[in-house]
A and B are shown apart, each in its own frame.
Chain A
Amino acid sequence: MCSLNRTQRSEQSELPTLASETDYRAFADEVVTEGFIPAFRTTTSATTEPTSSENKVNQARMQAYRKELSGRLLALIAECDFEYGFSSALDSFLRERLAENAFVTREWLNSLFVEHFEDVGVLTGVLRTIAHLDYYDVAPEGPTMALAALSHSSIEVRESGIRAFENWATADCLGVLRNVECAEQWMQDYVAQVVRDLEEELGLHGATC
């Protein structure tokens, strides 16, 4: 059985450490009340009303992203010259957002991905870009989006999903790719080659995850 090594990631993290949950709640309240994060709530309901400071901070940030950045991201996808092997303006845009607030950025991307599931350009733009980011920076939403892509009707979206798992190259990705079945022979051949590549790279030749 394979598992993700999250310990290593947390050691590399530069998040501020708060001594206790109380500290964090105070911090979150301060952030909202001091106006560092504008509360852009547009709709609330009894079931979605945030009850804790953490939820308030996350929801405020999410709404700020949706209001201020969704249009910009979609415009970038429309304007970007995506070419395999090269960075696009979207790469740096998303890196900046992840550095700012990784948790909310992943949630925001995930919701955009679902909302635009019929738009091949948006899905491939997001997948091509997150494929260039570290697996642990985009997980779990990134791999979930790539998994969803594998069942899309567009051949380009399905291929982008496979490419994302190939680029992230973790044991989890290998486990996914070992269980992918493609209708097109050329894509199945590609998956088989990537599985061989990852087995070699991860030193898991012949092992099952």
Chain B
Amino acid sequence: MALLVRKIEKAKWLQNDILAGEDVSADAITNCMKTRMNALSVWEIGGEEELHNAVLAMASQFQHLDTIDVVVLLPAAVAEAGLSVRGTNGATPVKDLAGSHRDLVSLTYRSLGKLAGLIVDGIRQKNVHRYTKQQLKRLLEEAIQAGRLSRDQLQESLRSRFA
């Protein structure tokens, strides 16, 4: 079953006790749902077993290896919330993943609120996954060894970390 994956900062979403029904903090909205051209970037995967691919697509663009959180969204719930998904080319240097990039488009004040609700549901249902710095390093190393990514395609600040 296809899934959509987006990077978030879990601690910002937990500033307020959203699990007990408190409202989402403004920091979570403005930091984790910063739109560009009324769109938000997500990565589509075939199932949870491919989650590492979405994370690899993101991490391969990083300037620093920092621990990240990703939330997994169900496309059916996204469609039910009235959000439109459009396929766009991803900026990842991992070529076989570039085609799995999607944008949530035509976002408005109201639809952003619905998306925030989906992220809260994701946190409640434990569909947020944390990848530590070391786990990201391993993902990138494996991709380099498998020939999916070359060291030279990484940001300059990261290259020295990989042989």
Contacts and interface: CB of A to CB of B under 8 A. Distances in A.
Contacts of B59: 85
B58 interface: yes
B64 A197 contact: no
Interface in A157-182: 159, 163, 166-167, 169
Contacts of A156: 11-12, 15
Interface string A133-147: 000000000000000
Given A155-B11, A155-B14, A156-B11, A197 B134 contact: yes
Contacts of B15: 155-156
Nearest to B12: A156
A82 to B, nearest CB: 8
A166 B10 contact: no
Contacts of A155: 11, 14-15
A201 B34 CA distance: 34
Nearest to B128: A186
A84 interface: yes
Interface in A74-108: 81-87
Looking at chain B, what size class is its interface with the partner chain?
20 to 34
Interface of A is mostly: helix
B109 to A, nearest CB: 21
B135 interface: yes
B64 A132 contact: yes
Contacts of A81: 34
Interface of A: 81-87, 131-132, 155-156, 159, 163, 166-167, 169, 184, 186, 190, 193-194, 197-198, 200-201
25 contacts: A81-B34, A82-B31, A84-B64, A84-B66, A84-B68, A85-B61, A85-B63, A85-B64, A85-B66, A85-B68, A86-B64, A87-B64, A87-B157, A131-B66, A132-B64, A156-B11, A159-B11, A163-B66, A166-B133, A186-B130, A190-B132, A193-B132, A194-B132, A197-B133, A201-B134
Given A167-B65, A201-B134, 16 more contacts: A83-B31, A85-B59, A85-B63, A86-B62, A87-B157, A131-B66, A132-B64, A156-B12, A166-B133, A167-B64, A186-B10, A190-B132, A193-B130, A194-B134, A197-B132, A197-B135
